[in-house]
Amino acid sequence: MDSMTLIAVISIAIAGLTMAIGSIAPALGEGKSISTALTSIAQQPDESKNIARTLFVGLAMIESLAIYCFVVSMILIYANPFWNYIISK
């Protein structure tokens, strides 16, 4: 196996791991935050607008972690910085 093939295989494997691990944590965080928000709304229905607004902002922040992992995996697959290093040698 030449070095180009090795870099490609490792990049694809790491991109897969990045997406797998990087999507588990935000999914658990979103589930926990939705559960807590629904419990809070059940206890204080008058504050449901404030709780929902805060929930949506929090969900956007949590979801950005998964998007960052997706961006990193796409960089590893399509714009890998190691390609230029291997090609120059």
In whole angstroms, what is the distance from residue 38 CA to residue 83 CA? 48
88 lies in some domain = no
73 lies in some domain = yes
Instruction: Please state the rounded mean pLDDT for residues 61-68.
Output: 90
Between vectors from CA 87 to CA 86 and to CA 89, what angle results, nearest 5°? 70
CATH number assigned to the domain comprising residue 12: 1.20.20.10
Q: How many domains does the chain have?
A: 1
55 lies in some domain = yes
Residue ranges making up the domain that contains 65? 3-82
Q: 89 in helix, strand or coil?
A: coil
At 35-60, the pLDDT tens digits run: 999 999 999 999 999 999 999 999 99
Q: Which of 71, 69, 60 is nearest to 33 (CA)?
A: 60
87 lies in some domain = no
10 lies in some domain = yes
pLDDT at 86: 76
